[in-house]
Structure 1
Amino acid sequence: MTDWDAIVIGSGLGGLTCAAYLTAAGKRTLVLEQNQVAGGCSQVFRRKGNKYEFDVGMHYIGECHSGGRMTAALRGLGLEGRVEFRRLDPDGHSTLVFPGLTFRVPSDWDTYLARLIEAFPGQERGLRLCVGILRRIGAELRTAELPKRSLPSLLRFARKAPTLASVGQLPLTWLFAACRLSPLARAVLVGESGDYGAPPSRTSVALHGGFLDHYLTGGAWYPRGGGQVVPAHLIDVIQTHGGRVRTKARVTRILIENGAATGVELEGGETIHAPIVVSGADLKRTYLDLVGREHLSPATVARVERYRMALPLFSVYLGLDIDLADRLPNSTYWCYPDADVEGAYQAAYEGRIPDEMPIFLTSASTKDPGNPHAAPPGHSTLEVMCLVPQGTFWPGGDGYSRDPEYLALKEALAERLIDRATTVLPELRRHIVWQEASSPVTHERFTLSSLGSCYGIEMAADQIGPRRPGPRTEIPGLWLTGASTTWGNGIVGAVSSGLGAAGAILRRPLSAEVKAGAVIADPAKLTPIGPDWDPLAVSKPSSPLRRRTARA
């Protein structure tokens, strides 16, 4: 077909969720993905003859408990029971490693506070005040509706969310100073800030309170079967309800006629028409490249140009000939060389990588040991990553992957990350049988994200909440979803953005409906899942393997 009810650009979780809800509600929806695998940052890849499977961005998720947003969003698509999650260690879903202190982050507010006081007994009063404010903000974010730009709405919001309204927009550094916390106590409190990619000076109290509540209320989780499971099931909803997902289909232009979006043009000249176009692609590229400045107001162009992208990641993927379940708990690791978290971000902003940088370390085979695709018996995978500078720090352009300067920089940084990882696994180097690294240039190549950022525009205090774009644009028929929208980055943020965008397009309160238990899709239409079901094959919709799997 060349004409659809809706077209979604990009197959990240925001785009797939939006398309799934649109098709479930009766809109024939086409998803266009330029990569050969759908899923965006939630996809996986396999190496060494498919022996090892690595996650690009699905590392751990919150709100997968019975009352969580992720649970509700999947249930609304008929996926309850089809997508299962394994819980990370509730006594320490994350482990923060500092010189002289190892702090395990428990999945519970009361235990979290008690553990902080145990680690810093001389700061009990300040810690109780600080954690109390963050906890109240988390609770208010779960129950309060964000205000509209009217005085009555703002007054209602201030009554229902007094802590959020009074101190939510202040920076974390203000809260830490008011509570007179030591540098190390501050570092522990923001030890997982790499999840949203902003330093304490740029992070609002509201953002960090919501982030902590995300995990401390319902725990941290990982999808059974690996990260590709979630996009694969969303694709199944789309394609069993009258929609389609096309890979290797790069959109080069959003068609604008009489001031409204009417479809897209693909690389090669193919045009496809629809009265609804949803972009889950990079925000800056959507506006400045796909739409074009000539179709936008000067104010919109200026605002989009001002948005700052979040810092990108450098990742090292390792296949190991040992079983890490014998050596590591079911926990993620954040390893810091010192307590100066702010300084590590500042170095990246200045285009520097310090000699010793903080790293994030996680193992999919430890989080889901039953996944047959993760690693062979007795083997494991390990992913090590860090935040790095943007832009010209990384040699790019055509043939970048063969550029000697780029290769030398990439190899040197990979070795430094492995050295840092040996602080957790001293014998690591002896067991590496596969090693690969990806840089921001790699990420930009596969996702077309500006400056290789996987988090969209930075989650800084001046770029969160109502300061981020919502789903509606100034161009009739054009809508937005994804990490750069109001809902923010992360797995649940992207899924929530897709649900929110679909609700706005359909002019119905979908988020409230699914939260109340509504199921929009028809579970009876979904493809039966057998023991040989492979989510990666399902996520390559144009491949013969996908068709064979569907028939089976």
Structure 2
Amino acid sequence: MRRVDVLVIGAGFGGLAAALRLQAAGYRTLVVEARERPGGRAYRLEDHGHVWDMGPTLVTLPSLFRELWHAAGAEFDADVELLPLRPYYRVVFADGSSVDYGGGDDAGAVAALAPGDAAAVARFLHSTARIYDRAFGELARQPFLRIADFLRVVPELVRLGAHRSVYALAKRHFADERVRSLFSFHPLFIGGNPLRASSVYSIVPHLERTEGVWYARGGTYAIVEAMVRRFRELGGDLLTGTPVSRVFTENGRASGALLASGEGIRSRAVVSNADAPMTYLELLEPKDRPKLWAWRLPRMRYSMSCYLLYLGLDRAFPDLAHHTIVMPGDYRGTLRHVFDGRGLPPHLAFYVHTPSRTDPSVAPPGRETMYVLVPVPHEGRGIDWEHEEPAFRERVLRELERVPGFAGLRQSIVVAHSFTPRDFAERLRSFRGAAFSIEPTLWQSAAFRPRNRTEVPGLYLVGAGTHPGAGMPGVLLSAAITARLVSADLGPAVRRVLVAPAAAGG
């Protein structure tokens, strides 16, 4: 039976980042991934010369990647080229108005949209900067292993207004509903409902302005490939096409895993990058499941899911921005339906990523590669995707074609692939097909979320379903927290990885 120091289950961003940190610290680390390629949600699809990122598409907080690479004795910018996006997004509203958001004069852009709200932009951004300064380090970089750890920071959170939602904060500053949506939609990027997500998540506009919004040349998967290269250069081992059947325990402690092939792997620690509910409810045997989480996980709120289209187009669409966000006619009603309703929403929101506008390498010459995301309810909300997908696809394309810049979209499609909530459940093993695992609300955060160090000794979690949450920044922060906890529990590694002097001094 193979023996390692740390076994990491799942090669998503969280699993790879934790593995890279632990391998660099000297622990013999093995990553096992069920799919044929690493990446998890950050998978790559290729067809007829078109290349799509199937999951995350943009980079915020690139400093977190630089921290990760530095921990591995390397320089991120030597491995990955980031291209700045300006504007960050073109936002189109149901009345036909639009605004180019980010990377420029946002107050001026708002003035053209809603003159009465222009002066409030600076006040809103100041309030989000204050929340960032006081809350980000306290909440996002620390493990919350006990309820008492969270209760300790509650008074400060109340002073910051964290009990209010992101939308409520925007409403306090802006009168125009379009502007409110413009400064409150960001929680959707991590599976949060702007009507419910704590105003702590309103820091995203501040982070965007502090570090920018970026695209990785070659797509987000280029970062996955670079992480794998660094991990292997440090002596780490990655096995793909290797699903895990269960985590086994000895005397109540996680001590390895049984693979679907029947092979067992022994380890001193197990780090699961599988969806947190699936780790507890499927990978652990009933006798090993902590009773609290076995009861609570099925009762928690889960993020919305997504309907995705990956389109290859036979011509360029020169009037499009890299990112286009199309707001629904009924913003609040659509959010309520997507998160709490049954059936398909009557109004649709769109996030459209057209990477070939910035990076010609992802499409054949003269063609366009496009990614269309529509927020939809997760599984269990009365939608039979096998039956409804064809008609819904046609509806999505028909509605999108009415948006300025997208005319002639349907007749230009030469390649099309779709990904539904059923695919999230079956192909990515996401609980209830939720695209971002557990919904980020104040009372599903920190110690109220599955913890980085579980109640099963030797078993740790990393990724969207644990603290601090989903999105690439959240997942990278969870990897840093989890790697730190594993190191503290295992003690100093017997073997140290040698770091090149030039890299060490970076």
Q: Take 1:262 and 1:8, find their aligned partners in 2: how far apart are those partners?
A: 12
Aligned residues of 1:394 and 1:441 also touching (Cα < 8 A) = no
Aligned residues of 1:7 and 1:278 also touching (Cα < 8 A) = yes
Counterpart among 306, 329, 344 of residue 334 in structure 2: 344
Counterpart amino acid of residue 400 in structure 2: A
Q: Does 1:76 align with 2:71?
A: yes
The structural deviation recorded for 1:140 is: 3.0
SS in 2 for 1:392: coil
Q: Take 1:152 and 1:54, find their aligned partners in 2: how far apart are those partners?
A: 41
* Corresponding residue number in structure 2 for 1:550: none
The structural deviation recorded for 1:60 is: 0.8
Q: Take 1:524 and 1:412, find their aligned partners in 2: how far apart are those partners?
A: 59
Counterpart among 244, 248, 260 of residue 255 in structure 1: 248
Q: Does 1:27 align with 2:27?
A: yes
Aligned residues of 1:252 and 1:266 also touching (Cα < 8 A) = yes
Counterpart amino acid of residue 333 in structure 1: T
Q: Take 2:454 and 2:353, find their aligned partners in 1: how far apart are those partners?
A: 38
Q: Deviations over 1:38-62 (max 9, x none)?
A: 11111201113xx111111131111
Counting aligned pairs with the same residue, the percent is 25
* Corresponding residue number in structure 2 for 1:266: 259
* Corresponding residue number in structure 2 for 1:412: 391
Q: Does 1:14 align with 2:6?
A: no
* Inter-CA distance 257–222: structure 2 relative to 1 (3 Å threshold): same
Aligned residues of 2:378 and 2:432 also touching (Cα < 8 A) = yes
* Corresponding residue number in structure 1 for 2:82: 86
* Inter-CA distance 447–169: structure 2 relative to 1 (3 Å threshold): same
* Corresponding residue number in structure 2 for 1:456: 437
SS in 2 for 1:454: coil
The structural deviation recorded for 1:180 is: 6.1
Aligned residues of 2:174 and 2:180 also touching (Cα < 8 A) = no
SS in 1 for 2:363: coil
- 1:187-202 residue pairs with structure 2 within 5 A? 187-202=181-196
Counterpart among 505, 517, 522 of residue 499 in structure 2: 522
The structural deviation recorded for 1:441 is: 1.2
Aligned residues of 1:263 and 1:277 also touching (Cα < 8 A) = yes
* Inter-CA distance 178–194: structure 2 relative to 1 (3 Å threshold): closer
SS in 1 for 2:79: coil
Counterpart among 332, 343, 350 of residue 323 in structure 2: 332
The structural deviation recorded for 1:2 is: 0.8
TM-score (norm 2): 0.88
Counterpart amino acid of residue 499 in structure 2: D
* Inter-CA distance 150–10: structure 2 relative to 1 (3 Å threshold): closer
Question: Aligned Cα RMSD in Å?
Answer: 2.9
Give the number of aligned pairs. 489
The structural deviation recorded for 1:384 is: 0.7
SS in 1 for 2:211: coil
Q: Take 2:349 and 2:464, find their aligned partners in 1: how far apart are those partners?
A: 24
Q: Deviations over 1:410-440 (max 9, x none)?
A: 1111112212322131121232111121111
* Corresponding residue number in structure 2 for 1:298: 291
Counterpart among 351, 362, 367 of residue 358 in structure 2: 367
Q: Deviations over 1:44-99 (max 9, x none)?
A: 01113xx11111113111112xxx22222233321423332333433x11111002
Q: Take 2:229 and 2:117, find their aligned partners in 1: how far apart are those partners?
A: 52
Q: Deviations over 1:335-382 (max 9, x none)?
A: 1232x322112222212223441111011222322x3xx121111210
* Corresponding residue number in structure 1 for 2:279: 286
Q: Take 1:245 and 1:317, find their aligned partners in 2: how far apart are those partners?
A: 28
* Inter-CA distance 15–164: structure 2 relative to 1 (3 Å threshold): farther
Aligned residues of 1:384 and 1:418 also touching (Cα < 8 A) = no
SS in 1 for 2:440: coil
- 1:461-480 residue pairs with structure 2 within 5 A? 461-480=442-461
TM-score (norm 1): 0.81
- 1:152-551 residue pairs with structure 2 within 5 A? 165-179=159-173, 181-209=175-203, 211-324=204-317, 326-329=318-321, 331-338=322-329, 340-348=330-338, 349-369=340-360, 371=361, 374-393=362-381, 406-422=385-401, 423=403, 424-507=405-488, 522=499
Counterpart amino acid of residue 4 in structure 2: W
Counterpart amino acid of residue 181 in structure 1: A
Aligned residues of 1:359 and 1:420 also touching (Cα < 8 A) = no
Q: Take 1:156 and 1:391, find their aligned partners in 2: how far apart are those partners?
A: 34
The structural deviation recorded for 1:291 is: 1.1
Q: Take 1:16 and 1:501, find their aligned partners in 2: how far apart are those partners?
A: 12
Q: Take 1:463 and 1:248, find their aligned partners in 2: how far apart are those partners?
A: 33
Aligned residues of 1:204 and 1:460 also touching (Cα < 8 A) = yes
Counterpart amino acid of residue 180 in structure 2: R
SS in 1 for 2:427: helix
* Inter-CA distance 178–228: structure 2 relative to 1 (3 Å threshold): closer
Q: Does 1:139 align with 2:133?
A: yes
Aligned residues of 1:137 and 1:164 also touching (Cα < 8 A) = no
Q: Take 2:188 and 2:386, find their aligned partners in 1: how far apart are those partners?
A: 25
The structural deviation recorded for 1:141 is: 3.8
* Corresponding residue number in structure 2 for 1:541: none
The structural deviation recorded for 1:233 is: 1.6
Q: Does 1:57 align with 2:55?
A: yes
SS in 1 for 2:228: helix
Q: Deviations over 1:322-346 (max 9, x none)?
A: 234x3323x31111232x3221122
The structural deviation recorded for 1:150 is: 9.9
The structural deviation recorded for 1:284 is: 0.7
* Inter-CA distance 289–143: structure 2 relative to 1 (3 Å threshold): closer
Counterpart amino acid of residue 42 in structure 2: S
